[in-house]
């Protein structure tokens, strides 16, 4: 009986040592809030991120009484081109390094509709945090909720340091 008890206690101690240690406490910033974790995007995340953004935009549009939009490959290409170009220029603005405007970019990719608007961001935040920030600003909220919008393009470029250049394009 004592052998069984000794074996049981030994097994209990061995298994107890195998348990994962508790996670370290979050690092705190100077403001007393936890520091954000770096949001790293992999190439395989492209589809899920684009559809998560599409679903979120459509939820907001439906709540505002607007029709849903569809992802458009040409607008995705225009958004990707501009996200890359903003990174090269190291500034978030609507003009390309070649002087192109959002209208020029949607025409270059062969989009047959008209540009409704473009929203951009330079951030370390996720796509949904970025959407929330866009919805808090009247000018970008107007683009996202435009009653004329029927198509959406969405893309980004993430730099090695984690900074993300987001671009959302709406077309009719």
**pLDDT for the residue numbered 29:** 72
**pLDDT for the residue numbered 164:** 97
For 26-37, the pLDDT digits (tens) are: 677 788 877 667
Q: With a threshold of 0.75, does the pTM exceed it?
A: yes
Average pLDDT estimate for 118-134? 96
Taking 90 as the threshold, does the pLDDT of residue 138 lie above it? yes
Burial (CB < 10 A; 0-12, 13-18, 19+), residue 141, is middle
Please give the biggest Cα pair distance in the chain: 86
């Amino acid at each position: 009986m004592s052998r069984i008890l000794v074996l049981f206690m030994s097994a209990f101690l061995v298994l107890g040592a195998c348990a994962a240690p508790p996670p370290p406490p979050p690092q705190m910033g100077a403001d007393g809030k936890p520091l954000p974790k770096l949001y790293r995007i992999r190439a395989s995340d492209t589809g899920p991120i684009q559809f998560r953004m599409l679903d979120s935009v459509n939820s907001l549009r439906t709540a505002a009484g607007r029709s849903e939009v569809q992802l458009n490959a040409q607008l995705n290409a225009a958004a990707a081109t501009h996200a890359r170009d903003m990174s090269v220029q190291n500034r978030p603005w609507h003009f390309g390094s070649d002087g192109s405007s959002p209208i020029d970019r949607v025409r270059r990719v062969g989009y047959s509709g008209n540009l409704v608007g473009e929203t951009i961001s330079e951030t370390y935040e996720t796509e949904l945090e970025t959407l929330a920030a866009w919805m808090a600003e009247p000018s970008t909220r107007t683009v996202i909720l435009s009653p004329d919008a029927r198509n959406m393009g969405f893309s980004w470029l993430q730099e090695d340091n984690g900074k993300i250049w987001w671009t959302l394009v709406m077309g009719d």
